[in-house]
Amino acid sequence: PFCFADGQIVPTASATLHPTDLGLIRGYGIFDFFRTVDYKPLFLDNYLDRFIASAERTFIPLPYSREELTEVIYELIEKNDLKEGGIRMVLSGGISENHFSPGEGKLFIFAESLIFPSEEKYQNGIKLLTLEYVRPVAEIKTTNYALAVWHSAGWKKQGAEDVLYHQGNYISESSRSNFFLVKNGELITPDSNILLGITRKYVMELAGGAHVRPVTMQEIRDADEAFITSTTKVLLPVTQIDDLKIGSGKPGPVSLGLLEKFRQKVGGLALT
Ligand code: PLP
């Protein structure tokens, strides 16, 4: 595979990061990740908006314009023959004289193969474990997933797919996905301490809207259905949270209907 690093397209394995880069020594960096469908980036404008906003809000200078980024992305899709895949843009904090203030950002853009969840998970739904946590400046897509990575060994042992973050009584999101409840046919999704997911936005459009507001832990108990959304999972039904079964314990009609609608509109790989 090929990536963009230091202003050029090079074999990914030959790209390097300086050992004192803030991404490495302070965990300071931002990224974004989108899919290609039939050689075209899906919702590229939305992802570029979010990536550029993350760079601005973290004070990491992005050394390329939006137009330059777009050009590089199309070049990488061609060079990697990326019909159905993922593109990751990473902007690391850069080399810093005092090992603390952001330097000139170091940009990498690279291609990845997509790993969709198995069809079995779409048919049976997944389990989440609640975890009290708020991602620091949650609306910025930073590269800091340390707590989730650390927890992931434990949640697998408990038969869970991921965690569901909450602060006190209020639910926010999963470690790499947004969260929705369905009650009486209506969608409800948390409004704060979340990354504004591009898939979340599109699913709300497909549904003709959603209630975006604080969501409490108690509401899980009364929910008819629940699901998570993300670029790689699209829409994955949640049928258990901790020891509690959601609704009937099976993926529900609203979740499956929206997933089907997404597949029809977007096309690309079947989620198997
Ligand atoms: N929330 C977090 C913390 C994420 O990391 C992600 C995706 O990576 C999402 C939500 C879902 O966002 P999107 O639908 O744009 O992939």
pLDDT of residue 176: 98
- Measured by CA distance, the residue closest to atom 12 of ligand 1 is 197
Both structure tokens of 127: 């389990």
**Average of pLDDT values for 176-181?**
98
189 lines ligand 1 (CB under 6 A): no
Q: Are 210 and 180 in contact (CB under 8 A)?
A: yes
Q: Specify the number of domains making up the chain.
A: 2
Q: Of 112, 135, 165, at which residue does a domain stop?
A: 112
Q: What is the mean pLDDT of the chain?
A: 96
Residue-range definition of the domain harbouring residue 40: 2-112
CA proximity to 102, closest of 220, 211, 22, 12? 22
Question: Ligand 1 mean position to 176 CA, how many Å?
Answer: 5
Both structure tokens of 264: 């029809």
Q: Where are the beta strands (DSSP E) in 113-176?
A: 126-132, 162-167, 170-174
Q: Judge if 139 and 209 occupy the same domain.
A: yes
- Measured by CA distance, the residue closest to atom 7 of ligand 1 is 176
**Average of pLDDT values for 79-83?**
96
Question: Ligand 1 mean position to 239 CA, how many Å?
Answer: 20
Give per-residue pLDDT as tens, 96-107.
Answer: 999 999 999 999
Q: Judge if 88 and 105 occupy the same domain.
A: yes
Q: Of 112, 131, 160, at which residue does a domain stop?
A: 112
What are the angstrom distances between the C-alpha of 252 and each of 69, 79, 155, 214, 237? 40, 41, 24, 23, 8
**Average of pLDDT values for 182-209?**
98
Question: Ligand 1 mean position to 9 CA, how many Å?
Answer: 27
**Average of pLDDT values for 111-136?**
95
Q: CA-to-CA distance for 4 and 12, rounded, in angstroms? A: 8
Residue 126 reports pLDDT greater than 90: yes
Sign of the CA dihedral with 153 first, then 157, 163, and 166 last: negative
Mutate to test the pocket of ligand 1, among 228, 230, 266 (most ligand atoms within 8 A of CB): 230
Both structure tokens of 96: 């810093």
Residue 271 reports pLDDT greater than 60: no
Question: Ligand 1 mean position to 238 CA, how many Å?
Answer: 16
Both structure tokens of 42: 């899906």
Residue 269 reports pLDDT greater than 90: no
- Fill in the amino acid letter for 238: V
199 lines ligand 1 (CB under 6 A): yes
Q: Judge if 221 and 255 occupy the same domain.
A: yes
| Coil, helix or strand at residue 253 | helix
pLDDT class of 202 with cuts at 50, 70, 90: very high
Residue 267 reports pLDDT greater than 90: no
Q: Judge if 23 and 55 occupy the same domain.
A: yes
pLDDT of residue 272: 43
* 42 phi, psi to nearest 5 deg: -85, 125
Give per-residue pLDDT as tens, 18-75.
Answer: 999 999 999 999 999 999 999 999 999 999 999 999 999 999 999 999 999 999 999 9
What are the angstrom distances between the C-alpha of 225 and each of 36, 185, 217, 241? 29, 9, 14, 11
Give per-residue pLDDT as tens, 229-255.
Answer: 999 999 999 999 999 999 999 999 999
231 lines ligand 1 (CB under 6 A): yes
